[in-house]
Amino acid sequence: MASKKQVSASMVPTERIEGSIFLIRGQKVMLDIDLAKLYGVPTGRFNEAVTRNLKRFPDDFMFRLAKEEWEILKSQIAISSSWGGRRSLPRAFTEQGVAMLSGC
C-alpha cells in the first residue's frame, strides 16, 4: 500500500489519527475507510489490496465488524446511512495490522 503513496507521520496531524482510533472488541483499531484516506486511495482500492494479501492479516491483525458493531459505531460518529453507502461491513485493523499494511 505504501508504494502507491508514501504517508509521512509529519504530514498527518496527530489529532486526525487519534480521532480515527476506536475501541472495538477490547482492541484499539482503525477502520479501512480512515486508513484509505490516510493513504490517499479510495476505500474500495484499499480493500482490494488487503484482499490480495489476506494471508498477511490474521484475526489479531484485522477483522470485519459485525453488523451490530457497525450500526453502533455509525451512530456514535454520525456517519450517514443514506443511499450510496458501503456494500460490505468495514474492516478494523489493530496496530499490528496497520503496520502490516506498509507491505501491501
pLDDT, tens digit (0-9, with 9 covering 90-100), for 6-63: 555 456 778 878 889 999 999 999 999 999 999 999 999 999 999 999 999 999 999 9
Q: Note the pLDDT of residue 95.
A: 95
- Provide the residue ranges of all domains of the chain, joining segments of one domain with +: 9-103
| pLDDT beyond 90 at 3 | no
Q: What is the pLDDT of residue 21?
A: 94
pLDDT tens digit sequence for 59-102: 999 999 999 999 998 888 766 555 456 789 999 999 999 999 98
What's the longest Cα–Cα distance across the chain?
A: 36
pLDDT score at 78: 67
CA–CA gap between residue 93 and residue 14 (Å, rounded): 18
- Which class is 9-103 in CATH? alpha beta
CA-to-CA dists, residue 41 to 19, 37, 79, angstroms: 19, 6, 19
pLDDT of amino acid 15? 81
Q: How far is 26 from 64, CA to CA, in rounded Å?
A: 14
Residue 90: which of 60, 64, 54, 68 has the closest Cα? 64
pTM for this one? 0.80
Q: What is the pLDDT of residue 103?
A: 76
The three cell numbers of residue 43 are 476505500
